[in-house]
């Protein structure tokens, strides 16, 4: 028995000696190297698992949403004009008492393509002649070419109409499909809108702005030729007959909102002079087959010079989208577009029109109803019931908060469009659910590590089995986060080498790893 005991003691001593021996790797002890390897393996396994999860999630997002075969009505593009900029002309947008939540505004970082705006256009545009006019930009189309492309401006080719003109689908001689906007010449209105659109987006190129290809200016005729977007507009998909389940899922709706915000951010912050659209609404957001949005209809746009904070103009816009300060004073700036975008985002989330007289009295005005629902803590009920899969609470709250920020009656508290882009793109932490998984598994992992890591004894406390981790390893992995734990263990076990219980170190290490990944 004595011999056997001595053999066991010798074996333990030899094992302890080997584990505490110095290795060539950073001059660390053997047990420290083993601990590092185990943690590296765990981290590698975690990363592999997360990569697999990310790949699967991205594949699901890329799945094509099936196009609805339901009939989609033509959308009204009528623009209401507010003739008097007096205080009485303020739209009833609701004075809800919703407090503004403090949101850390993220500074915008956008890659801006410097587009040199054309010079000398005004003189060319203002020339009055009966013959064809070439304004020195884009492609000039003859009236005959556009008549052939639209089959004589056939009513069968009409894809949209409003107070300022009719939009036709056309096929040019080279086979390309275009949208031809024939401006109505009421009291020189066609000439005015023609100038505005050419000046605003004549040379602008952005994936979320509809492209202006060319023009026609013959006699009194003024036409604009745009790229053709073949999937209708947002209003048709939100309010048309699309069946019991909307093809616009939450992710698609947020994609549309973010794309629209990017287009407006480019107009406000990427051009000189900046462009204020002045008529942001769902019918002016065109969609392609991949649900990419393109802001269209710049007939009411205004250019804002760098030295000007606003421009005073006759109040025009679409009822329900016009900002209250613009409606009451006629002073227009980019914050008016921000307000209109907030209304548009509400419309995207709720599936409701800004003004709907078919609803009960308390629900006719979208802003009033929306604020009331938020105030009564029923925010989850505002989401469009036609959305089959409801959004996560975090994503929903983020979108609702952006709405409230955009429609703030205090103009100075509204975010810039670039900041709105960042707020909407601030995706949930994709591996957040994994944190919960690892948190509930910490005890089990601790048991495994405590079982298989080398066990040694502290000389002055032979009855206490502990895992020895040097201060250097603890500091290398967790930096200052470990200081409190080391001080605690020094007080418990005395000065000298630090000895940390496996049941304390492993859970702390995993929690810190999760926190860093978070």
Instruction: Show binding-site residues for ATP.
Output: 181
Q: Specify whether 279 is catalytic.
A: yes
| Dist. CA 97–CA 91, nearest whole Å | 17
Give CA 293 to chain center in angstroms. Answer: 13
**Which three-class secondary structure state does DSSP give residue 333?**
coil
Find the helix or strand (DSSP H, E) in which 216 lies: strand 212-218
Q: Which tokens hold the place of 164?
A: 């300022």
Q: Is 481 exposed, middle or buried (0-12, 13-18, 19+ CB in 10 A)?
A: middle
DSSP per-residue letters across 62-101: TSPPPPP-S--PPPB----B----SGGG--------PPPP
Q: Which residues, in sequence order, are CB contacts of 85 under 8 Å at separation 6+?
A: 314, 315, 327, 328, 329, 330
Long-range contacts, stretch 242-245, CB < 8 angstroms, 24+ apart: 242/68, 242/70, 242/72, 242/386, 243/68, 243/70, 244/386, 245/386, 245/388
Q: Around Cβ 269, how many Cβ atoms within 10 Å?
A: 17
Return the closest-CA partner of residue 114 out of 295, 236, 272, 288: 272
Q: Which tokens hold the place of 34?
A: 């083993």
Q: Which residues, in sequence order, are CB contacts of 418 under 8 Å at separation 6+?
A: 108, 110, 265, 268, 269
Q: Which tokens hold the place of 22?
A: 């110095």
| Dist. CA 263–CA 419, nearest whole Å | 13
Of the residues 174, 251, 279, 288, only one is catalytic, namely 279
Return the closest-CA partner of residue 275 out of 250, 300, 240: 300
Catalytic residues: 279
């Amino acid at each position: 028995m004595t011999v056997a005991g001595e053999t066991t003691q010798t074996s333990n001593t030899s094992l302890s000696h080997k584990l505490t021996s110095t290795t060539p790797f950073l001059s660390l002890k053997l047990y420290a190297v083993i601990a590092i390897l185990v943690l590296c393996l765990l981290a590698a396994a975690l990363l592999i698992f997360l990569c697999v999860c990310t790949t699967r999630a991205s594949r699901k997002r890329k799945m094509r949403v099936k196009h609805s075969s339901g009939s989609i009505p033509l959308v009204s593009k009528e623009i209401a004009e507010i003739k008097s900029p007096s205080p009485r002309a303020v739209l009833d947008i609701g004075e809800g008492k919703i407090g503004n939540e403090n949101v850390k505004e993220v500074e915008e970082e956008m890659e801006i393509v410097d587009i040199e705006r054309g010079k000398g256009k005004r003189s060319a545009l203002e020339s009055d002649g009966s013959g064809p006019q070439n304004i020195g930009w884009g492609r000039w189309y003859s009236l005959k070419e556009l008549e052939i492309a639209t089959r004589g401006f056939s009513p069968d080719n009409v894809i949209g109409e409003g107070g300022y003109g009719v939009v036709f689908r056309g096929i040019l001689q080279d086979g390309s499909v275009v949208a031809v906007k024939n401006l109505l010449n009421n009291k020189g209105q066609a000439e005015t809108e023609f100038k505005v659109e050419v000046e605003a987006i004549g040379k602008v190129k952005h994936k979320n702005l509809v492209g202006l290809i060319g023009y026609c200016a013959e006699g009194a005729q003024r036409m604009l030729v745009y790229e053709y977007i073949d999937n209708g507009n947002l209003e048709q998909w939100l309010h048309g007959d699309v069946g019991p389940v909307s093809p616009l899922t939450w992710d698609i709706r947020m994609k549309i909102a973010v794309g629209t915000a990017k287009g407006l951010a480019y107009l406000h912050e990427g051009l000189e002079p900046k462009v204020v659209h002045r008529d942001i609404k769902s019918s002016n957001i065109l969609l392609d087959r991949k649900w990419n949005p393109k802001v269209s209809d710049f007939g009411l746009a205004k250019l804002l010079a760098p030295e000007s904070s606003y421009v005073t103009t006759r109040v025009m816009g679409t009822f329900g989208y016009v900002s209250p300060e613009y409606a009451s004073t006629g002073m227009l700036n980019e914050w008016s577009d921000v307000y209109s975008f907030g209304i548009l985002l509400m419309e995207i989330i709720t599936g409701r029109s800004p003004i709907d007289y078919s609803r009960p009295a308390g629900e006719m005005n979208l802003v009033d109803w929306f604020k009331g629902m938020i105030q009564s803590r029923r925010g989850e009920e505002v989401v469009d019931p036609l959305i089959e899969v409801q959004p996560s609470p975090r994503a929903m709250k983020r979108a609702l908060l952006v709405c409230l920020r955009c429609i703030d009656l205090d103009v100075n508290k509204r975010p810039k469009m670039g900041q709105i882009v960042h707020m909407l793109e601030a995706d949930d932490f994709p591996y957040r659910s994994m944190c919960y998984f690892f948190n509930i598994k910490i005890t089990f992992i601790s048991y495994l590590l405590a079982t298989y890591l080398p066990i040694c004894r502290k000389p002055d406390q032979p009855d206490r089995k502990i895992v020895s981790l040097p201060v250097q390893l603890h500091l290398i992995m967790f930096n200052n986060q470990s200081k409190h734990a080391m001080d605690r263990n020094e007080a418990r076990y005395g000065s000298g080498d630090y000895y940390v219980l496996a049941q304390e170190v492993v859970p702390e290490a995993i929690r810190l790893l999760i926190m860093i990944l978070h």
